[in-house]
Amino acid sequence: MNDYIALAARIKVVLKDVEKSIDRAHVLMKKALQTNDDGYWDGVALNLHAFYTGLEHIFEDIARTIEQSTPTGRDWHTDLLTQMATAIPNLRPAVISQESRYCLDEYRGFRHVVRNVYTFNLFPARLQSLTEGLQKCFDAVQNDLSRFVAFLESMD
């Protein structure tokens, strides 16, 4: 099997999982707003984390498979986003648009907070804002990745 076709298939699978985390974030946000229960707020944070982490796994897979290298160093998460928003001549088009890069950067930063701060220090207003923007950001990224998958499938 062609590496590009296999990569396209993996992208599609992970996107379905990412979509589940979006649905769960919305359900838990509704419950958090109704009850103000910390457990629901924590669940929202965890699913926002899962949203970005799933997409980052796709980007790492693309970098490993096509560029055969992933960024390293302290800022590798930011560098990976930049790499995905950059076309590489004679190799691949940009994976995501600059618009998608900017919206994803918000979730990248939040994911860092979730990993490095106790959940009782998370602010409900920030969780609500990120959850409200989740679908719009995902739609843009999903459109970008659909175009990229079409590119991969055309390389067969």
* Site of tokens 């560098």: 79
Please, what are the domains in the chain? 3-154 (1.20.120)
> Angle 29-134-33 (CA atoms, 0-180°, nearest 5)?
15
Q: Mean pLDDT over all residues of the chain?
A: 94
Query: What confidence tens digit (pLDDT) does each residue in 26-41 have?
Result: 999 999 999 999 999 9
In whole angstroms, give the CA distance from residue 28 to residue 47.
Answer: 9
- How many residues are there in the chain? 156
The answer, yes or no, to whether residue 156 has pLDDT greater than 80, is: no
Supply the pLDDT for residue 14: 98
Name residue 136's amino acid.
K
Supply the pLDDT for residue 98: 98
In whole angstroms, give the CA distance from residue 128 to residue 134.
Answer: 10
Query: What confidence tens digit (pLDDT) does each residue in 134-149 have?
Result: 999 999 999 999 999 9
Q: pTM score, two decimals?
A: 0.94
SS3 1: coil
The 10 Å Cβ neighbour count of residue 67 is 13
Residue 127 CA, chain-centre distance (Å), reads 16
Mean pLDDT value of segment 59-86: 96
Q: What is the largest distance, in Å, between two alpha-carbon atoms of the chain?
A: 54
In whole angstroms, give the CA distance from residue 29 to residue 43.
Answer: 8
In whole angstroms, give the CA distance from residue 139 to residue 61.
Answer: 20
**To the nearest whole percent, how much of the chain has pLDDT over 90?**
90
Residues whose CB falls within 8 Å of the CB of residue 97, separated by 6 or more in sequence, listed in order: 85, 140, 144
pLDDT band at 122 (very low <50, low <70, confident <90, very high): confident
